[in-house]
Structures are given as C-alpha cells and as structure tokens.
A = this chain, B = another copy of it.
Amino acid sequence: MSSHPHSPAKESVIDLLGMLAYGELVAFDRQAIDARLAPDLRRRAQLSTMAADEIHNYRQLVARITELGADPQAAMKPFVHVIDAFHDSTAPRNWLEGLVKAYVGDSIADDFFREVAGLLEPADRDLVLEVLHNEDHAEFAVTEITAAIADNPAVAHRLALWARRLVGEALSQAQRVAAEHDSLTLLIVEGTGDLAKVGELIKRLMQAHAERMTTIGLNN
C-alpha cells in the first residue's frame, strides 16, 4: 500500500492532520480573543490578522483530510479535549502574555511540524510545511516583546516565568497525546527510527526554544 518502506499509515497521517487542524481552529479563536488585550487598534488588528491566517491554514488541512477520504470533524474530535485543556490552562492575562504565547507556541509548533513533515510522503509534507507560520508574525511579536522589556526590564522576569509555564503545559499535554494516540506515537517513533531518536527530537525543540528565549531577553 505504501509508496516506500517507511511511509506512515494513512490513519496516522489523518490523525496528525486532524490534530493540526483543530490546533489551527483554536489558535484562531484564542488569538481573536487575545487581540482584545491590545493597547491600541493597530496592535489589535495585527493580532487579529495573525488569527485570521490560522483559519486559512485550517481550511487547507481540512481540504487534505477530505481528499484522504476522512471526515475532518471525526479527525479533529480526538484532539479537542487535550488542545482545549492546554489553552484553558494558559489564558493570557494581558497583551504581552498573549504575544509571548503566540510566539512561543507558534515557534515550537513550527519546529515540531518541520521535523514531522520529513516523515511524511510528499503531498502531506508539502502541506504541513505550507501551514507553518508567517515570519511576519514572529517579527511582530519579537519587536513588541523586546520593546516592552527595554521600556521596563522588570517585565522580563514575569514573562520568562510565563514562557516556562507555557512550555510545561504544552509538554504535559503532548505526553497525553502520545499516551492516548498510538498511531501518532508510532508515526514519530517509526519515522525517527527509535525511542532514543524521539528523545533527541524533543531535545532539539527545547534547545531551539531556549535560544529564542535568550534572543528576546527571556532567559532569566
């Protein structure tokens, strides 16, 4: 059935795309709400635009799930609980927390999907690479965060704690996904080679995250 020996099962791919799709739908929803925390209309519109882009990605993912013969709602459903739990536990209390969340979350998600894309067949790989976030988003977040820290260095410590909490919550939900969804775990374990390789993947993600935090002054 598969086009090469390590090509992942269709079921795993649908799971992955379903998880991504629901992630996009919720990212839209949460960023749209977080936009209200903006100090002015220009910034509010900027985060609203970032939110709107997630819906564009959502639509592409849903189109691919349908193309693979699956029902997008059914594909998303197993991930509703865990993704909602992440967002419920990490609702930003102010504009900067919202931006840090968008930046940290989008960056780790992009790194993860860039790695996973390499395990997929061309059509799915291209799609997953296409729904990575726009560089503009990261630039906007970095500019805002570094300006806020320059303005008041005390916010760096608070935001660093916040970023750590975001990552902690994300890892704990990721563990739940791994435990509950054998097909996804299998996709990654078989794709990377073995469990040790999965450990290395997580290490790479955390390393890249730490470097980003240092760059924007949130390593304290």
Residues of A within 8 A of B (CB): 22, 25, 28-29, 32-33, 35-36, 40-42, 44-45, 48-49, 51-53, 55-56, 58-59, 62, 72-73, 76-77, 80
Query: Does A45 contact B58, Cβ atoms closer than 8 Å?
Result: yes
Query: Does A76 contact B41, Cβ atoms closer than 8 Å?
Result: yes
A76: B residues at CB distance < 8 A:
41
16 cross-chain CB contacts under 8 A: A25-B44, A25-B45, A28-B48, A29-B35, A32-B32, A32-B51, A41-B72, A41-B80, A45-B59, A48-B55, A48-B58, A49-B59, A51-B55, A52-B53, A52-B55, A52-B56
Q: Number of copies of this chain in the oligomer?
A: 2
Query: Does A36 contact B45, Cβ atoms closer than 8 Å?
Result: no
Query: Does A55 contact B49, Cβ atoms closer than 8 Å?
Result: yes
A62: B residues at CB distance < 8 A:
45
- A77–B36 Cα distance when bound, in Å, is 15
- A77–B22 Cα distance when bound, in Å, is 35
A36: B residues at CB distance < 8 A:
29
Chain B: CB-nearest residue to A71: B42
Known: A29-B48, A45-B58. 16 other contacts (CB 8 A): A25-B44, A25-B45, A25-B48, A28-B32, A28-B52, A29-B36, A32-B51, A33-B33, A41-B73, A41-B77, A42-B73, A45-B59, A48-B55, A48-B58, A49-B59, A52-B53
- A28–B38 Cα distance when bound, in Å, is 15
A22: B residues at CB distance < 8 A:
41
- A117–B116 Cα distance when bound, in Å, is 49
- A61–B49 Cα distance when bound, in Å, is 14
- A99–B90 Cα distance when bound, in Å, is 29
A40: B residues at CB distance < 8 A:
73
A72: B residues at CB distance < 8 A:
41-42
Q: Write the nearest CB–CB distance from A78 to chain B, whole angstroms.
A: 12
- A53–B48 Cα distance when bound, in Å, is 11
